[in-house]
Structure 1
Amino acid sequence: MDQATPHTIESLAADLRGLGLAAGDVVLVHSSVRALGFVAGGTQAAVAALLEVLGPAGTLVVPTHTSDNTDPAGWQAPPVPEAWWPVIRAATPGFDPARTPSRYVGVLPEVVRAWPGAVRSDHPQVSFAALGPRAAEIVAGHRLDDALGEQSPLGAVYRLDGRVLLLGCGYDSNTSLHLAEWRQAAAPRAEQGASVLRPDGGSHWLTWTDVQTDEDDFPQIGADFEATGAAVVGRVGEATARLMSQRALVDFATGWMDTHRGGVS
């Protein structure tokens, strides 16, 4: 490691302001804390820096997805024996916004999820957590069959004209691009499954149908979007960071998918 001094809440906040993040913003953050370099206070300090910049009028949103609460029949990394599938469906604890940890979205969302005052949506696979005055509005009404669509937290951020911050990660992690997928009239749909809580506190396996996600072209969409000059690229700590309007991104991606995926929105 060759950075001259540790990064701090104050230095990260200065970097975020330099990038264009402002007090009162609604911002959806995707992150790799490791990319920031050494931070005094680690992930907690990174969250504190974001909250310092946003101030009391701003709202921080993060993905708290639980992609392990999916049908084991589709698992590939690694797959599990078919004989295990019914056991997994029957024995997996139902998703609980207060208890179920996020998976595969980095360490920063877990810190936000546990932060005093944070609220979380109740989708058993693609929940989001939020902190701030618009948090409850953003996470409310997250429908099973509109996981990343208009009635999801992504749709709420769009309606609030929020922003997206990619902190040390790329467009393959940019969940807002899924909102453009949900806007495709011909988007392929598939059966989904997850363990959910019953009103009595027990668990049961539930299935429903929703859009089938496909992130393969997300890096190309991101590159084409940045070529329009609509994203601000800079440094936060040691990380490359990208800040953009979520509306501009989703509107661009919707048109891009119309053309390149052959759908009609």
Structure 2
Amino acid sequence: MSTVEHGRARLAGQLTALGVRRGGVLMVHASLRAVGAVDGGADTVAAALRDALGPAGTLVVPAFTPENSDTSAHYHARVRGLDDEQRAAVRAAMPPFDPATTPAPSMGRLSETVRRTAGAVRSTHPQTSFAALGPLADHVATGHHPDCHLGEDSPLARLHGLGAQILLLGTGFASCTAFHLAEYRVPSPPRRTYRCVVRDGGGRRWWEYEDVALDDSDFTALGADFERSGHGTAVRTGPVGSATGRLFGFPAAVAFASQWLPAHRGREPA
């Protein structure tokens, strides 16, 4: 059986048919494995997304870096079974975050392609940065406070204000970062301590800060209820390459999650 390769024009046409707004702002979470064989790989998928958005549109992707933190799930998985000396060696080898050069390997090939594209702007949070391409890239990425992962002083709040769309391209709602903005908007969200390596002059140092305790463990259930709800016309689905694309409005997703989370998560006593 021959493998069908998807081309740029076909992908762009499918994205337009799905409802990607020309001249709009689009945040994408993508699994290129799900999209299938593409002539030109991640570069072609990024180009097709920009074609669908048009020259006035802005493309945004997560460029998170859990690799330079010892409080991340990524770190705990990496050091599981290691002794204290081995853990210390892992921590000592973590490079400090540099928005210009630090890769985001856990975010996938599309995110890395967008991040490395000429003209891309990256926000400066050392753990949860975003990369953006297009006329509104500076507006989206600038002013990301280092002690605010995904709240009001992050690109997510800018995307909400712009009425952005979200595309889950071959991925599920578990990767929908927009839901995290809702975690900041519920009354008295729980908080926790985070720690990561940052640049200090020509060297490195550990930086510790407090922020909202992020939890995506129930995002699949939250997304399923959102998709069924029809809230704000909810979710449009359609083929993009070999993948299923889910397209929906950023404000609608946050509004639904802001009601769903308090109703479904147990609250700790004050």
Q: TM-score, normalised by structure 1?
A: 0.93
Q: Please tell me the root mean square deviation across aligned C-alpha atoms, in Å.
A: 1.8
- 1:1-265 equivalent positions in 2, closer than 5 A: 5-71=4-70, 75-78=75-78, 79=80, 80-198=82-200, 200-229=201-230, 230-262=234-266
Quote the sequence identity (%): 46
In the alignment of these two chains, the number of paired residues is 262
Q: Distance between the aligned counterparts of 2:23 and 2:207, measured in 1?
A: 38
The answer on whether the counterparts of 1:72 and 1:85 sit within 8 Å (CA) in structure 2 is no
Structure 1 runs not aligned, ≥5 long: none
The answer on whether the counterparts of 1:67 and 1:103 sit within 8 Å (CA) in structure 2 is no
Q: What is the CA distance between 1:82 and its match in structure 2?
A: 2.6
Q: What is the CA distance between 1:21 and its match in structure 2?
A: 0.4
Structure 1 range deviating more: 64-73 or 174-183 = 64-73
Q: What is the CA distance between 1:2 and its match in structure 2?
A: 6.1
Q: What is the CA distance between 1:33 and its match in structure 2?
A: 0.6
Cα distance, 1:157–1:57 mapped onto 2, change above 3 Å: same
User: After TM superposition, which residue ranges in structure 1, 4 or more long, deviate above 6 angstroms?
Assistant: none
Cα distance, 1:182–1:172 mapped onto 2, change above 3 Å: same
Q: What is the CA distance between 1:85 and its match in structure 2?
A: 4.4
Cα distance, 1:221–1:6 mapped onto 2, change above 3 Å: same
The answer on whether the counterparts of 1:73 and 1:85 sit within 8 Å (CA) in structure 2 is no
Q: More helix by proportion, 1 or 2?
A: 2
Q: Distance between the aligned counterparts of 2:265 and 2:152, measured in 1?
A: 20
Structure 1 range deviating more: 188-197 or 72-81 = 72-81
Q: Distance between the aligned counterparts of 2:72 and 2:61, measured in 1?
A: 28
Please list the CA deviations of residues 174-206 of structure 1 after superposition, one character each: whole Å capped at 9, or x if unmatched: 1111111121233221110111112x2321110
Q: What is the CA distance between 1:94 and its match in structure 2?
A: 1.2
SS of 2:101's partner is: coil
Q: Distance between the aligned counterparts of 1:85 and 1:259, measured in 2?
A: 39
Structure 1 range deviating more: 90-99 or 166-175 = 90-99
Q: Distance between the aligned counterparts of 1:129 and 1:170, measured in 2?
A: 21
Q: Distance between the aligned counterparts of 2:202 and 2:150, measured in 1?
A: 26
Q: Distance between the aligned counterparts of 2:92 and 2:241, measured in 1?
A: 45
Q: What is the CA distance between 1:90 and its match in structure 2?
A: 4.5
